C-alpha cells in the first residue's frame, strides 16, 4: 500500500507470504502440515465426564446463544439488517451510506465495520470510543472475546432461502460499494485503507466465522477492484488516443488548453491505476496467499473461484505463472469440491483462444495431474477433468501423449454415465472427426452405391472396439457415444459395410471386424428401440418427453431400414 496511509492500514500481516513456500508441486498433505493456523482449540484443560446435568446446561447455553443471535437480527436499522431483509435496492443502500460518509466518514466507517462483524454472526458492538482509540487488531481481539461459538452457526452457513439470499446480497453489497465509490472515495486513502485493513485482520482470526465471512468479502472486493482497473484501462486508452490526435494537428489548429487537460487527465488515470494495482497486490498477499490453503475447504474454494474471475477479466495482471501456480498446487487438494473449483477456474481460460496461449507453461507443468484427475474418485471432478483435457486437446494436440489419451479412452467403459459420456466426447474429438470433403467423385461400392460420409468413422469405431479388448462391453461404448456422434444411428452405413462389396482400392472387413460391427449394430438398435442405458449406467428413470420423442423417431428410422432388408430376404 502507498506511503501515507492511516495507522490502521499499516498493520503487519502475521504470516510469511513469499513464494518460497512452494518450491515445487507439493502433495496437499505437506501443505496442510504447514498450515497458516491450526483449528481453534475447543477444549481447555481437562474435562470431566459429562453427566445429564451437563447436557442440560449445554442445551440451555445453546438456546441462549440462539436467542442472542435472534436479538442481533431484530430490526435495528443497521446495514446488516437492511441487507438481510433484502427489501431495499443495494445501490440505494450504498448511496445512502456514501452520503453519510461525506458528512462524517468516521461514523460511516464504524457502521461499515459493524456490518462485517454482524455478518459474521458476532453479537459484539463496536462503540465510537473503541473505534477512535483502538487499532483494528485490538477491535478484532475484543470482538473475538465476545463471540459465542456455542451454536456453531453464522449467516454464511445457515440454511434456508433467506440465508441463501443473504449470501448473494452480501457479495453484491461489497461489489456495489466499490462500484459506487470508484470515481473518488476509493482514492481518498482512508475508506479503502480501513476496509482492507479490517478484512485482512479478520481473515487471520482463529474464529472460523470471522475468517470465512471476511475472506469472501475480501475476494469479492478484489473482483470489484478488477472491474475498476478495467474501466481505468479503457479510459486511459481513450484519453491517450485523444491526446495523440490533438497533438497530431497543425500548430495553428491545435488547442493548447485541451492538450494540457488531456495530459492532466492521463496522469490522474495512471496514478489511479497504480493505486488500484497496489490495493489488488496488497489484498492478494495479505489474504489470498494465506487463505487459499486454509483448513476449511469452503474458504479454499472461495479463493479458487475468484482467482479464475480475475484471470479471465484482467489477464494482463493475473494470467501469469506467478498467480497460476496457486491453482496448480490446489489441484492436489484432499477435498473434492476444492479440486472441482480449480478445474472450473481453468476451463474458461482454455476455452478462450486469446488466453489459452498464455497457459502453455502451466499446462505442461500440471498436465500429468490434470490427466490423473480424470480417474478421480469424485465423479464430478473426473467429468470436469475430462472436459478440461478436451479443451487442452483443442488448443494443442501435441501437449497430450498417446499414453495420456489412452487413459481417457478407457473411461468410455466406465459404469458412471457422465464420466463415460465425457470420455466419449474426448474420443469423438480425437478419433472420430469427419475429414473435409475432397474434390472428385465420391467413394462407391463395387455395385456403384455411394458410401455414407460416416463410413470411415464406423471403420475406425470397429477398430477401436477390437483394440480395446472389451468385446463383451459394446453396449457401454455405444452408450458413451450415443448422444455425441450421429454415426451411431447411421444404420444404412453399417448395413452397407456388411452387405456391399468394397470398391476399387478399398479393403473388405475381415471376419473379426464384421463380427464386431454386428455386435455394435445390435447394441445401437437396442438403444434406439428402448432408450435404455446399459446395466449400471445410472438408475432406471422415466424418460422425458424429449427423450421419448427421440426414441420414437429412432424406431421409425429402424422400420424404414428394415423394409428393404426384408425384401432382400
DSSP assignment of 271-327 equals: HHHHHHHHHHHHHIIIIIHHHTT-SSHHHHHHHHHHHHHHHHH-HHHHSSHHHHHHH
Q: Considering only residues 34 and 339, tell me which one the structure prediction assigns the higher pLDDT.
A: 339
Name the burial class of residue 433, with classes exposed (0-12), middle (13-18) and buried (19+) by CB atoms within 10 angstroms of its CB. exposed
Is there a contact between 189 and 4 (Cβ–Cβ < 8 Å)?
Answer: yes
Residues in Cβ contact with 322 at an 8 Å cutoff, skipping those fewer than 6 apart: 19
CA separation for the pair 208, 214 (Å, rounded)? 10
Q: Considering only residues 81 and 244, tell me which one the structure prediction assigns the higher pLDDT.
A: 81
Task: Please tell me whether residue 210 adopts helix, strand or coil conformation.
Answer: helix
pLDDT(517) > 50: yes
Read off the pLDDT of each residue in 239-266 and give the average, rounded to a whole number.
Answer: 80
CA separation for the pair 128, 123 (Å, rounded)? 16
Q: Band of the pLDDT at 214, cuts 50, 70, 90? A: very high
pLDDT(411) > 90: yes
pTM of the shown model = 0.80
Give the whole-number percent of the chain exceeding pLDDT 70.
76
Q: Band of the pLDDT at 153, cuts 50, 70, 90? A: confident
Task: Please tell me whether residue 154 adopts helix, strand or coil conformation.
Answer: coil
**pLDDT value for 12:** 40
Is there a contact between 451 and 496 (Cβ–Cβ < 8 Å)?
Answer: yes
Q: Band of the pLDDT at 216, cuts 50, 70, 90? A: very high
CA separation for the pair 131, 117 (Å, rounded)? 13
Per-residue pLDDT tens digits for 58-67:
454 445 434 4
Average confidence score pLDDT of the chain: 82
Read off the pLDDT of each residue in 523-544 and give the average, rounded to a whole number.
Answer: 77
**pLDDT value for 496:** 86
**pLDDT value for 433:** 80
CA separation for the pair 322, 437 (Å, rounded)? 45
Give the whole-number percent of the chain exceeding pLDDT 90.
58
Helix, strand, coil content of the chain in percent (nearest 5): 70, 0, 30
Residues in Cβ contact with 11 at an 8 Å cutoff, skipping those fewer than 6 apart: 135, 136, 137, 197, 200, 201
Q: Considering only residues 41 and 456, tell me which one the structure prediction assigns the higher pLDDT.
A: 456
- Ranked by mean pLDDT, the top range of 144-148, 248-252, 278-282 is 278-282
**pLDDT value for 555:** 59
**pLDDT value for 348:** 95
Q: How far apart are the first and last CA of the chain?
A: 86
Per-residue pLDDT tens digits for 259-314:
888 889 999 999 999 999 999 999 999 999 999 999 999 999 999 999 999 999 99
**pLDDT value for 138:** 95
Q: Band of the pLDDT at 353, cuts 50, 70, 90? A: confident
CA neighbor of 287 nearest in space, from 191, 214, 223 = 214
pLDDT(470) > 90: no
Q: Considering only residues 35 and 201, tell me which one the structure prediction assigns the higher pLDDT.
A: 201
pLDDT(408) > 70: yes
Q: Considering only residues 123 and 551, tell me which one the structure prediction assigns the higher pLDDT.
A: 123
Q: Band of the pLDDT at 176, cuts 50, 70, 90? A: very high
Tell me the HSE value of 554 on the side-chain side, using a 13 A CA sphere: 23
Per-residue pLDDT tens digits for 356-365:
889 999 999 9
**pLDDT value for 257:** 79
Among the ranges given (67-71, 105-109, 146-150), the one the predictor scored with the smallest mean pLDDT = 67-71
Amino acid at each position: 500500500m502507498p506511503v501515507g496511509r492511516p495507522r490502521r492500514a499499516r498493520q503487519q500481516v502475521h504470516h510469511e507470504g513469499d513464494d518460497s513456500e512452494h518450491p515445487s508441486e507439493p502433495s496437499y498433505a505437506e501443505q496442510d502440515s504447514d498450515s497458516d493456523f491450526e483449528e481453534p482449540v475447543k477444549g481447555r484443560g481437562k474435562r470431566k465426564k459429562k453427566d445429564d446435568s451437563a447436557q442440560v446446561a449445554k442445551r440451555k447455553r445453546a438456546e441462549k446463544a440462539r436467542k442472542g443471535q435472534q436479538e442481533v437480527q431484530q430490526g435495528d436499522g443497521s446495514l446488516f439488517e437492511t441487507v438481510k431483509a433484502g427489501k431495499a435496492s443495494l445501490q440505494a443502500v450504498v448511496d445512502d451510506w456514501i452520503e453519510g460518509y461525506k458528512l462524517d466518514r468516521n461514523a460511516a466507517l464504524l457502521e461499515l465495520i459493524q456490518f462485517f462483524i454482524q455478518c459474521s454472526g458476532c453479537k459484539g458492538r463496536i462503540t465510537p470510543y473503541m473505534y477512535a482509540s483502538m487499532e483494528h487488531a485490538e477491535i478484532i481481539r475484543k470482538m473475538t472475546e465476545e463471540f459465542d461459538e456455542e451454536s456453531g452457526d453464522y449467516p454464511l452457513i445457515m440454511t434456508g432461502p433467506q440465508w441463501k439470499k443473504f449470501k448473494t446480497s452480501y457479495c453484491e453489497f461489497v461489489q456495489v460499494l466499490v462500484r459506487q465509490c470508484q470515481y473518488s472515495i476509493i482514492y481518498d486513502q482512508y475508506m479503502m485503507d480501513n476496509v482492507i485493513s479490517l478484512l485482512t485482520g479478520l481473515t487471520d482470526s482463529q474464529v472460523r466465522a470471522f475468517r470465512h465471512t471476511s475472506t469472501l468479502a475480501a475476494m469479492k472486493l478484489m473482483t470489484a477492484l478488477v472491474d475498476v482497473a478495467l474501466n481505468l484501462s479503457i479510459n486511459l486508452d481513450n484519453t491517450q488516443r485523444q491526446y495523440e490526435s490533438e497533438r497530431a494537428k497543425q500548430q495553428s489548429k491545435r488547442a493548447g488548453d485541451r492538450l494540457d487537460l488531456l495530459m492532466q487527465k492521463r496522469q490522474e488515470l495512471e496514478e489511479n491505476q497504480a493505486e488500484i494495482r497496489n490495493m489488488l497486490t496488497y489484498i492478494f498477499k495479505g489474504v489470498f496467499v494465506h487463505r487459499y490453503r486454509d483448513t476449511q475447504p469452503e474458504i479454499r474454494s472461495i479463493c479458487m473461484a475468484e482467482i479464475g474471475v480475475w484471470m479471465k477479466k484482467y489477464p494482463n495482471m493475473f494470467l501469469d505463472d506467478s498467480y497460476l501456480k496457486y491453482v496448480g498446487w490446489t489441484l492436489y487438494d484432499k477435498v473434492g469440491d476444492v479440486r472441482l473449483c480449480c478445474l472450473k477456474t481453468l476451463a474458461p481460460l482454455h476455452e478462450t483462444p486469446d488466453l489459452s496461449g498464455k497457459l502453455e507453461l502451466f499446462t505442461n507443468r500440471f498436465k500429468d495431474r490434470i490427466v490423473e484427475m480424470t480417474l478421480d474418485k469424485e465423479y464430478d471432478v473426473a467429468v470436469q477433468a475430462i472436459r478440461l483435457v478436451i479443451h487442452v486437446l483443442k488448443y494443442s494436440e501435441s501437449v497430450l501423449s498417446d499414453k495420456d489419451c489412452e487413459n481417457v479412452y478407457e473411461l468410455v467403459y466406465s459404469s458412471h454415465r457422465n464420466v463415460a459420456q465425457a470420455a466419449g466426447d474426448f474420443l469423438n474429438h480425437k478419433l472420430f472427426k469427419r475429414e473435409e470433403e475432397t474434390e472428385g467423385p465420391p467413394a462407391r461400392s463395387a455395385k456403384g452405391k455411394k458410401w455414407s460420409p460416416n463410413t470411415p468413422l464406423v471403420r475406425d469405431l470397429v477398430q477401436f472396439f477390437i483394440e480395446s479388448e472389451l468385446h463383451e462391453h459394446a453396449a457401454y461404448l455405444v452408450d458413451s457415444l450415443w448422444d455425441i456422434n450421429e454415426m451411431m444411428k447411421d444404420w444404412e452405413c453399417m448395413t452397407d459395410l456388411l452387405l456391399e462389396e468394397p470398391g476399387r482400392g478399398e479393403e473388405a472387413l475381415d471376419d473379426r471386424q464384421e463380427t464386431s460391427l454386428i455386435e455394435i449394430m445390435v447394441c445401437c438398435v437396442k438403444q434406439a428401440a428402448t432408450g435404455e442405458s446399459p446395466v449400471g449406467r445410472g438408475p432406471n428413470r422415466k424418460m422425458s418427453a424429449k427423450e421419448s420423442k427421440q426414441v420414437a423417431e429412432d424406431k421409425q428410422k429402424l422400420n424404414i431400414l428394415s423394409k428393404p432388408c426384408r425384401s432382400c430376404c
